[in-house]
Amino acid sequence: MSDPSTCRTAVSAAASLGRFGVETSLWAWGGFVAFVLVLIALDLGIVHRKPRAVKVSEALWTSLFYITLALIFAAGVFYFRGSEDGWAFLTGFLIEKSLSIDNIFVFVLIFTHFSVPAEYQHRVLLWGILGALVMRAVLIFAGVELIANFHWLIYVFGAFLVVTGIKMLLAADAEPDMANNRLVGFIKRRMRVTESFHGEHFFIRRDGALYATPLFLTLVIVEASDLVFAVDSIPAILAVSQDAFIVFTANVFAILGLRALYFALAGVVHKFHYLKYALSIVLVLVGAKMLVNGYFGAKTIPTEYALIATAVLVFGSIIVSLARKERPDDRKTLPTGWVVGSPAKSGDDKHKP
């Protein structure tokens, strides 16, 4: 006769694996991770082996390549795992892709403040995104496990998204004071930092002492900013699905294309005047969906509705922004946004370089 405690342990382990999507296939997990590593290796070793500026045309084609990969993967999810997971992947991918445009607003501000040469920006983004993938993987698995063990956290995450969306809406036009960034000040008080860039190096040795370069400061701010974005965006996609495989793959595809999207949109992203308002409404709606479905049942508000609402809001806001006529007070050439460690500029400081 089997030991009851052993049976309970086996059932618990199986349930835990199920939450992480492992029951579908360990080969699927291994194959996907290997595929991502190959893409990163090709990028590091061949495509961008030497530092160079990325042309807009190249960035557009690369962005289209990653979107195509995501759509092919979505077709596979529909075929092998059914329409429910397929719609969840597409919705999660669109939400993450849309929120990643908010990252671009911040990246433009960071690179402009530090005067990072165009040929070194890709290196910062690449290492920043590698760190982002690790951070997001940890947050995703932790979030899935927490929700599985503490159902009431669904309401916490849902309320968090609603509050975050409202805060984003109220601070949509805030301008960060990068000159008084507290995180940069903290690093400079504890490390030697060179005044100028030294190629693509994050650190150099001078007279036997180790110095950080401004490129390292840029990387730290980019990583810290993405951690904050991840804290906002992971609950948003967990509102769509609590299957770790779906959530993780949707995140990875959105993040992999972020670098290309940055170089494609960096020059025009400040014209997306209404996008932040749309993204804030998306967060509120997704948070409300999480609250309603958590209380009334997982299918009360179908995932397809969330996908349609997100698409209409995001693409609609971009179209309206581009159709908007230039106004006399449109003097800003930089987007607005919140940067980690940077207080908001006061009214008298706004529009100052």
Q: DSSP letter string over 274-329?
A: THHHHHHHHHHHHHHHHHHHHHH-TTSS-HHHHHHHHHHHHHHHHHHHHHSPP-TT
Residue 196 identity (one-letter amino acid)? S
Residue 236 identity (one-letter amino acid)? A
209 beta partners: 206
Buried b (16+ CB within 10 A) or exposed e, 293-308: bbeeeeeebebeebbe
Q: Where are the alpha helices (DSSP H) in the chain?
A: 4-19, 26-42, 56-81, 83-114, 118-149, 153-170, 182-190, 214-238, 244-256, 258-265, 275-296, 303-323
Give the residue extent of every domain in the chain.
12-323
pLDDT of residue 330: 54
pLDDT of residue 93: 92
Contact (CB, 8 A) for 184 and 222: no
pLDDT of residue 352: 47
pLDDT of residue 189: 87
Q: What pLDDT tens digit does each residue of the chain (353 aa) get?
A: 445 444 444 444 444 444 544 445 788 888 899 999 888 888 776 666 666 677 778 888 888 999 999 999 999 999 999 998 999 999 999 988 888 887 787 888 888 888 888 888 888 888 888 888 888 889 899 988 888 888 888 888 888 888 888 888 877 666 666 677 788 888 888 888 888 888 888 998 888 889 999 899 899 888 888 888 888 788 888 888 889 999 999 999 998 888 888 888 877 777 788 888 888 888 888 888 888 888 777 677 788 888 888 889 988 988 888 887 766 555 555 555 555 555 555 544 544 44
CA distance 91 to 201: 38
Token pair in block for residue 217? 């400061």
Residue 345 to residues 37, 147, 337, 342, Cα–Cα distance (Å) = 41, 38, 11, 9
Which residue do the tokens 């949707």 mark?
250
pLDDT of residue 7: 45
Contact (CB, 8 A) for 261 and 62: no
Residue 11 to residues 4, 18, 22, 113, 206, Cα–Cα distance (Å) = 11, 10, 14, 54, 59
Q: Which of 330, 159, 133, 158 is nearest to 240 (CA)?
A: 158
Residue 309 to residues 32, 230, 315, Cα–Cα distance (Å) = 29, 21, 10
CA distance 243 to 140: 9
Residue 140 to residues 109, 134, 248, Cα–Cα distance (Å) = 28, 10, 7
Phi, psi (deg, nearest 5) at residue 110: -65, -50
pLDDT of residue 90: 93
